[in-house]
Amino acid sequence: MRTIDIFDTTLRDGEQSAGVNLNTVEKIEVAKQLERLGVDVIEAGFPAASKGDFDAVKRIGETVKNISVTGLARASIRDIDAVWESLKTTAEPRLHVFIATSPIHMTHKLKMTPDQVIEKAVETVKYAKKLFPVVQWSAEDAGRTDLNFLVKIMERVIEAGASVINLPDTVGYMTPQKYGEMFRFVRENVPNIDGVKLSAHCHDDLGMATANSLAAIENGADQIEGTINGIGERAGNAALEEVAVALRIREDFYGASTRLKLDEIKKTSALVSKLTGMRVPANKAVVGNNAFAHESGIHQDGMLKEKTTYEIITPELIGVNSTRLVLGKHSGRHAFKNKALELGFDLNEEKLKEAFDTFKDLADKKKEIVDDDLFSILTNKQTEIGEGTGFNLERMQVQYGMDNIPTATIELRDENGDLKQLASTGSGSVEAIYNTIESMLPSPSKLLDYKINSVGGGRDALAEVYVRLEYDGDNTSGRGTAQDVLEASARAYLNAVNRLLQQKATMKEKVAVKAGV
C-alpha cells in the first residue's frame, strides 16, 4: 500500500476564497486542528503578501511542532526571503515557490519568453536551496502547459535543487484522464525524476477536483494538495476530506492511503466552516449534514435490514457523534471540561470558566444543548478578541411593528470604558441596528455582506451572523452568535470593527517595538 502525503492549503489557497479573512488567532486554531487531523504539510500563507500574512505564518511555524509548515513565494528573491524570515526557526522550514508555465500565462501575465521563465525558475530555486532543506516548485497552470516544455523546465529545476514538484490544474480545466496522463508523461520523460515527489493541486471549476486528484494518484502522484471543505479561489480546491475518504473506502482500487486520522474530519470541517463563514452545503460529500441522512422509505427499509445496502461510509469513520444530546443545565464543570477536550478544545482555566458560564446561561434558555452549540461557544471563546479592544455591546432594544418604523436603541462601551447611547431608525430591524451602530462609531463604515446561519437545529437554535464591512477605509469581517438574530447581527458588526482595530493596534505595537520606542 502506498502512502500519499497530504499538503493542506486551507490557510493559503483556502483563504483566497472571496470574502474570507481569518485573523492570526483563528489561523492558529485551524493549524492546531490540522495537526490533530494529521496532515503532512501546512501551507500557512504567503508571507510577502502582507505583514499580517507574514506574522500568521511565523506564529503557526512556532506553534505547530510535529509537521512541516510552508509558505508560498513567487519566483522572486524578496518573496523567498520573506518565507525564510517567517520560518527559519522551525524544525523543517519548507519553501513553496511557483512560476507559470502555460503559454497563456507566460505571454499575457508574466510577459516573459519560455526561456526567460526557465532562467527565472532555476535562479530562484538555486537561491532557495541555499536556505531551505526542502524546496517545492510549482508550475502554475501546468494543466494548460505544453508537455515537452514541462519536461524541460522540470529537469532544470530538479537540477537546481527542487525535491517536490507540483503540477497544478490552476484553473480547473483538466479531466481525470488528461490530468493522469500528464503525471504519467513526466514520470516517464523527465530524466532526473527519481526520488522527486510529485504533487497534485486541483481546482474545482468543472467539479472535477477530487476526481482529478485521484487520477493523479493512480498515475504516480505522491502528494495531494487541497483544502478542508474544498474552499479556495473561485470554485475552490480539491476537498481533502473527499480525497482521503475515497482512498479509504476504495482502498481495493487505489491501493493507497493517507496518514489522516479520519475521525477528526468532521471537527476540522466544522471549525473551518465556522471561522470562515463558508457554510458546508447539506449535500456535500463526506461532511454535509445530509451525508448520512436517509429520507425515503425504500432506503430506510434497506438501512434497517442491513446498513451496507445504502451506507458506504459510516458516520463514525469521520468522527460524527451519533449521541447528540450531551450536556444540560444540571451538568457541572468536570463534565463540561471533559466534553471540551473531547471536542478538541484545550482552554486555559479562565477561558474555560467563562465558556462554562456562557453554557449555563444558554442552558437556562435552550431546551437541548447539542455538540454544535458547545462547539460554537468554545470556538468563540478560543478565538475571541482580548478585553479592552474596541466596542462592547452593553444593551440593545429594538422596536418593530408592521405599521411602525423600526427603531434600535443601543448602548455601547468603548475601549476607554465610556458609555454611549443612541437610537436610530431603519427600513428593517437589522438596518435600524446597523444605522445606530454606524452613527456611534468614530470612523465611517459600510456593510458589504451579511449572512445568517443557524447552529444545529430546532426553533431555539443559536443564530450565527457573518458580516463583511468597510471601516475607516479598510475591509474587515466578523461574526456574532446569540440566541436572538438581532443580537447576533449587532455582535457580528462590532466584532468586525474590533478585529480591525485589534489588527491595527498589533501592527502599531510591532512598529513601535522595532523602532525601539
Ligand X SMILES: CC(C)C(=O)C(=O)O
Question: Taking the mean position of all CA atoms in its chain, how far away is CA 102?
Answer: 28
Residues annotated as binding site for Mn(2+)?
13, 201, 203, 237
Q: Which stretch binds ligand X (CB under 6 A): 166-174, 366-374, 421-429, 496-504?
A: 166-174
Q: Please, what is the minimum distance in Å from the beta carbon of residue 168 to ligand X? A: 3
Tell me the C-alpha distance between 330 and 503, whole Å.
Answer: 39
Partner interacting with residue 46 (select from ligand X, ligand ACO, Mg ion, none; CB below 5-8 Å by kind) = ligand ACO
Nearer to ligand X, 225 or 372 (CB): 225
Residue 109 contact, options ligand ACO, Mg ion, ligand X, none, Cβ 5-8 Å cut-off depending on partner type: ligand ACO
Stretch that binds Mg ion, among 9-17, 153-161, 310-318, 489-497 (CB under 5 A): 9-17
Q: Does 49 bind ligand ACO (CB under 6 A)?
A: yes
Binds 10: which of ligand X, Mg ion, ligand ACO, none (CB < 5-8 Å by kind): none
Using CB under 6 A as the binding rule, whether residue 15 contacts ligand ACO is answered as no
Residue 358 near residue 373 (C-beta atoms within 8 A)? no
Count the residues in the chain: 517
- With binding defined as CB under 6 A, does residue 168 bind ligand X? yes
C-alpha distances out from residue 280 to 106, 111, 454, Å: 36, 39, 12
Q: Does 13 bind Mg ion (CB under 5 A)?
A: yes
- What is the four-CA torsion angle of 10, 99, 170, 18, rounded to 10 degrees? 50
For 295, the grid coordinates are 429520507
294 within 8 A of 312, measured Cβ to Cβ: no
Which of 53, 438 has the CB closer to ligand X? 53
Q: Which of 23, 24, 170, 273 is in the footprint of ligand X by CB under 6 A? A: 170
Touching ligand ACO, residues 99-128 (CB under 6 A): 99, 109-110
Instruction: Please report whether residue 96 would count as binding ligand ACO according to CB under 6 A.
Output: no
Of 170 and 407, which CB lies nearer to ligand ACO in the complex structure? 170
Interface mask (CB under 6 A) for ligand X, residues 91-130, using x and -? -------x--------------------------------
Give me the least distance between CB of 76 and ligand ACO, in Å please: 5
Asked if residue 381 binds ligand X (CB under 6 A), the reply is no
* Phi, psi of 337, deg, nearest 5: -65, -45
Does position 74 interact with ligand ACO (CB under 6 A)? The reply is: yes
Q: 202: which residues sit within 8 A by CB, 6+ positions away?
A: 168, 169, 172, 174, 179, 208, 209, 210, 212, 213, 216, 225, 226, 237, 238
Taking the C-alpha atoms of residue 61 and residue 105, their distance in angstroms, rounded to an integer, is: 32
In the complex, what is the shortest distance from the CB of residue 492 to ligand X, in angstroms, rounded to a whole number? Answer: 30
In the complex, the smallest distance separating the C-beta of residue 487 from ligand ACO, rounded to whole angstroms, is 35
Q: How many CA atoms lie within 13 A of 266 on its CB side?
A: 21
One of 13, 15, 372, 487 touching ligand X (CB under 6 A): 13
Q: What HEC string does 387-420 produce?
A: CCCCCEEEEEEEECCCCCCCEEEEEEECCCCCEE
137 touches ligand X by CB under 6 A: no
212: CB partners within 8 A, 6+ apart:
169, 174, 175, 176, 179, 200, 202, 238
Of 8-16, 102-110, 368-376, 407-415: span binding Mg ion (CB under 5 A): 8-16
Q: How far is it, in rounded angstroms, from Cα 133 to Cα 349?
A: 40
Nearest 5°: the CA angle 187, 190, 191 is: 115
Kindly tell me which of 145 and 489 has the beta carbon lying closer to ligand X. Answer: 145
User: 214, 246 in Cβ contact below 8 A?
Assistant: yes
- Residue (72 or 128) nearer to ligand X, CB: 72
* CA nearest neighbour of 11 among 52, 2, 427, 247: 52
Binding site for ligand X (CB under 6 A): 13, 72, 98, 138, 140, 166, 168, 170, 201, 203
| Residue numbers at the binding site for Mg ion (CB under 5 A) | 13
